[in-house]
Structure 1
Amino acid sequence: MSQSIIFDMDGTLFQTDTILEISLEDTFEHLRSMDKWNEATPIQQYREIMGVPLPQVWETLLPDYSTQEREYTDGYFLEKLIGNIRNGNGSLYPNTKEVLSYLHENNFSIYIASNGLTVYLEAIVSHYNLDKWITETFSIQEIESLNKSDLVKSIVKKYGITNAAVVGDRLSDINAAKDNGLISIGCNFDFAKEDELSQANMVIDDLIELKTILPKLPI
């Protein structure tokens, strides 16, 4: 019988910080060149909200800007992110491919549920050839509410999933599992917060731990 597992992407499978700072710096340098920004790049502020949908990112980083200016910045930033992925500047977390291969070989159906945009996720999946293991990748862009719980719900409904684990580094992933009656596995990685991870059913420090944990779970 096939088992199911739903992964977050940023901060879980993909080390977003490997391209985050250079892409964000390029974006704000571009804003400076247009006299739209005259301060330091708010990298730390972005790290604190990492994992939320991009529209919310720009509402936070550019609160006094118009919707049109935020959308322009969002598009420029996305171009830089994708360019860095395709140029090989990013990186998966250690053991990502080994774990995905193991799960696939052991009859797990693997899904991605991410707050990233579709073209961004496609760039990661394509560059690292993850589609040979992943059944389908889902973007928050497909959900009107921009809510991770609703995104996971759409996966559960489409594939008739009754039991599964959701693996991610932020509270939105943990809540998405709880709201859909699934098991939550928190990743104690770069962007994780202790108070959020404390709400997960279990926490891992390395993806390789899934090879031991998942076969024992009722999924």
Structure 2
Amino acid sequence: MNKMKAIIFDMDGTLFQTATILEPALEATFDELRKNNVWDGSTPIELYRSIMGVPLPIVWQHLLPNHSASSRHKADTIFQKKLIELIANGNGALYPHVLDIFRYLEEKDRSIFIASNGLVDYLRAIVQFYKLDQWILETFSIQQIDSLDKGELVKLIKESYSITDAIVVGDRLSDFSAAKENGFPSIGCDFDFAHKEELSQADIIIQDLREIKKFV
């Protein structure tokens, strides 16, 4: 029996240009918070960019450090709704050559998975709008892991599909650590939200998704 060969992609900052919808969604969210007297001041865009890629519960702990868990949950609900609306309206964008590399991987009999810190509905909105499900075998969200640990999420994919040969492609330390914990090599995407010190932990660094072809 042939063993499955896989490529496990992160979503935000790797396949999807989150920056295209991040600022308007965050502005809209904090507008709501200001209207409801929950927030006073400017929208912490730069702070969010600096922590982009971590699970959303941690994001809101940083963005609303002095607020209750209930307030953070309400803010997150508004934010998710705004993100999905923007995606559905075509305001987002994939990185260049996503479809090209997906077609190439299909030709090479590589199964494609998503392992993302994004939530289920958000990831579904991206996959559906860009019709990525014709290539992606399954999308996994950090919501499926109680610990919010990316390594455990990749392990779930590995064990669910009995994968022994895979490459993890992402842009943040959590992606590279998850690859290492599961015995897989990693490719770091030097894109919008990547940090040089984190990229140094990847086995390979690329500036263009087409470069993946060299390693598959």
- Bin for the TM-score computed over the shorter chain: over 0.9
Shift of 1:34: 1.1
Q: Secondary structure at the match of 2:46?
A: helix
Distance 1:158 1:60 in 2: 33
Q: Which stretch of structure 1 is more off in the superposition, 32-41 or 20-29?
A: 32-41
Distance 2:201 2:53 in 1: 17
In the other structure, the counterpart of 1:99 is 101
Structure 1 portions without partners, runs of 5+? 215-219
Shift of 1:140: 0.2
In structure 2, give the amino acid aligned to 1:182: F
In the other structure, the counterpart of 1:217 is none
Contact 2:25/2:79 (<8 A) preserved? yes
In the other structure, the counterpart of 2:170 is 168
In the other structure, the counterpart of 1:159 is 161
Aligned sequence identity (%): 58
What are the within-5 Å matches in structure 2 for residues 13-162 of structure 1? 13-162=15-164
In structure 1, give the amino acid aligned to 2:133: D
Cα RMSD of the aligned pairs, angstroms, is: 0.7
In structure 2, give the amino acid aligned to 1:63: P
Distance 2:61 2:99 in 1: 35
Residues 88-138 of structure 1, C-alpha deviation per residue, up to 9 Å, x if partnerless? 000000000111111112211000000000000000000000000000000
Distance 2:174 2:77 in 1: 24
TM-score between the two structures when normalised by the length of structure 2: 0.98
In structure 2, give the amino acid aligned to 1:170: R
Shift of 1:11: 0.2
Shift of 1:210: 0.8
Distance 2:22 2:67 in 1: 21
The count of corresponding residues between Structure 1 and Structure 2 is 214
Contact 2:5/2:164 (<8 A) preserved? no
Structure 2 portions without partners, runs of 5+? none
Shift of 1:53: 0.7
Superposition misfits of 4+ residues, deviation over 6 angstroms:
none
In structure 1, give the amino acid aligned to 2:105: L
Q: Secondary structure at the match of 2:186?
A: strand
Distance 2:128 2:106 in 1: 17
Distance 2:144 2:8 in 1: 16
In structure 2, give the amino acid aligned to 1:46: Y
Q: Secondary structure at the match of 1:11?
A: coil
